[in-house]
Amino acid sequence: MVDERIRKVAEILVDYSTEVKKGDRVLIHTGLEAKDLALEIYKLCLVRGAHPWIKVDLPRANYIFYKYASDEQIKWFPEHEYYEIQHTDVYFALRAPANVRELVNIDPARISERLKTLKPIREWRVEKTRWVVFYYPTNALAQEAGMSLEEFEEFVFNSCLIDWREMSKKLKKIKEVLDKTDKVRIVSSDTELEFSIKGRNALIADGKKNMPDGEVYTSVVENSTNGYIKYDIPAVLLGNVVEGIYLKFENGMVVEARAERNQEFLEKMLKTDEGARRIGEFGIGLNYNITRPVKNILFDEKIGGTIHLALGRGYKETGSKNESAIHWDMIKDLRKDGEIYFDGKLVMKNGKWLII
């Protein structure tokens, strides 16, 4: 018998997040361990009159590809996958990793090259489908979070099963202020960073793209970032965990980068392309049901009382002009020691927003 919480999440994803309707072509891209949720979504889509199909990721497939693929195969563009996404209206990404460190010993340059190759597929999905990403609770994710599977399941479902329409109202209040703001200043004992968001369009993340959700985000004027920031939450990309990241910016560009752990990976990602050294996104975490990091960006960037700045590609809908093959969110926890100023006005102190 399927867990009732899984049924409720499936309903949220189908009826709220993507609003599946009759005639929609629906791709359910799932990890093997998320089969119960995938089948619930599949059933609901059929009941709604849509045309769903399921695509399954097998454990170890990514590792095998990156280990054995030739340079030619790394750079080969899969036209069949491009055709598939071009003929998809709704895309569910149900991620259920069996090993979150699967790619940790793969040369980051190979991964970076593959990301460049697949960029048109990713951009079509982001810009032209109704999509949502969900991380299904697996033992691998629970271990990474330092929890039992049962504890992690409770953590995941608690962060998702909330009143998203009420959350949306709160997020819109922050958006309205952001849209009128020029200068943003972030201050703590180890951070002094300033940038402009003038003329950019803030968006709310209220469960329509990610689940769980709960953030407001915008883009940064590309040459405006100055100062330094120390990230106190581990930054994870492609199974690589980088801790204690320190970045210094001058006129929008990273001019100094250090990490307490895995600095080599940080440096290689910064060399992906010019855009990888600029901030593409400024985001504000506002889901206070998520109270601790679990080394998974889908959850960590939403922690109430945090902000995140993504190196690399920005979202065109926000007005970003930054192009890059990567989009790497890095999170700053401001709950114990932090302030945010909008145009010189204190708007957040120690994780508590003063404008909502």
pLDDT at position 108: 83
- Whole-angstrom Cα distance, residue 299 to residue 356? 22
State the angle between helix axes of 79-86 and 108-128 in degrees (0 to 180), rounded to the nearest 10. Answer: 20
| Low-confidence stretches of the chain (pLDDT beneath 50) | none
Burial of 5: CB neighbours in 10 Å, binned 0-12, 13-18, 19+: middle
Burial of 180: CB neighbours in 10 Å, binned 0-12, 13-18, 19+: exposed
Of the CA atoms within 13 Å of residue 26, those in its CB half-sphere come to: 28
- Whole-angstrom Cα distance, residue 82 to residue 75? 14
Specify whether the CB–CB gap between 283 and 196 falls below 8 A: no
- Whole-angstrom Cα distance, residue 331 to residue 144? 17
Q: With CA atoms as reference, report the closest residue to 64 among 99, 28, 94.
A: 99
Pure H helices in the chain? 4-11, 35-47, 61-68, 71-74, 79-86, 108-128, 139-145, 149-160, 164-178, 263-270, 297-300
pLDDT at position 101: 85
Dihedral of CA 292/160/148/150: which sign?
Answer: positive
- Determine phi and psi for 340, rounding to 5 degrees: -125, 135
Specify whether the CB–CB gap between 254 and 272 falls below 8 A: no
- Predicted TM-score (pTM) of the model is 0.82
Other C-beta atoms within 10 Å of 240: how many?
21
- Determine phi and psi for 105, rounding to 5 degrees: -100, 10
For residue 124 the two structure tokens come to 């079509």
For the chain, the straight-line distance linking the first and the last C-alpha, in angstroms and rounded, comes to 42
pLDDT at position 237: 87
Buried b (16+ CB within 10 A) or exposed e, 34-49: bbebbbbbbebbeebe
Other C-beta atoms within 10 Å of 344: how many?
8
CATH superfamily, region 4-160: Thermophilic metalloprotease (M29) (3.40.1830.10)
Residue type, position 284, single letter: I
Dihedral of CA 31/138/153/164: which sign?
Answer: negative
| 25-31 and 90-95 strand pairing | parallel
pLDDT at position 1: 78
pLDDT at position 112: 86
Give me the torsion for CA of 118, 121, 123, 127, rounded to 10°.
Answer: -170
CA distances from 347 to 94, 150, 188, 194, 338 (A): 36, 37, 14, 15, 11
Specify whether the CB–CB gap between 12 and 160 falls below 8 A: yes
Helices (H) and strands (E) in the chain, counts: 11, 20
- Determine phi and psi for 73, rounding to 5 degrees: -70, -35
pLDDT at position 2: 85
Structural domain spans, the chain: 4-160, 164-353
- Whole-angstrom Cα distance, residue 350 to residue 336? 5
